[in-house]
């Protein structure tokens, strides 16, 4: 599956558009991660616990989007975007979306 954040795939021609595909996940903060992040907040530096949480969330949302595209028969997703929003105190949604398409190599 080709996944790009552009309108086209270089070297390929879009022959069919299936429409919007999406994937999301809602994650809550973890007490252990909050504690470690709080300690790092005092001394500064990357909050790697939250970085890991966001990476896991992005991977899961992307996997769900890819699954939806495969079910439609797509072999690529163009215009991929990511969005986050707060759902509740301590919980956030990560949303991945794009346009599922079928591409063929240009002649």
Q: What is the pTM of this model?
A: 0.83
Report pLDDT digits (tens) over 9-58: 999 999 999 999 999 999 886 545 555 545 555 666 777 777 888 899 99
**Contact predicate 35/47, CB 8 Å:** no
Q: SS3 of 32, please?
A: helix
CA dist 14 and 10 (Å) reads 10
User: Which architecture, in CATH terms, is 28-105?
Assistant: 2-Layer Sandwich (3.30)
How far does CA 81 lie from the centroid of its chain? 7
| pLDDT value of residue 80 | 98
Locate the domains of the chain by residue range: 28-105
End-to-end CA distance of the chain: 20
């Amino acid at each position: 599956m080709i996944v790009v954040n552009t309108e086209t795939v270089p070297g390929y021609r879009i022959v069919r558009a299936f429409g919007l595909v999406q994937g999301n996940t809602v994650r809550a903060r973890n007490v252990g991660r909050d504690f470690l992040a709080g300690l790092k907040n005092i001394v500064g530096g990357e909050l790697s616990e939250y970085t890991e949480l966001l990476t896991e969330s992005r991977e899961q949302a992307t996997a769900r989007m890819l699954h939806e595209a495969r079910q439609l028969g797509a072999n690529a997703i163009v215009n991929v975007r990511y969005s986050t929003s707060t759902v509740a105190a301590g919980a956030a949604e990560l949303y991945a979306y794009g346009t599922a398409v079928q591409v063929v190599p240009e002649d």
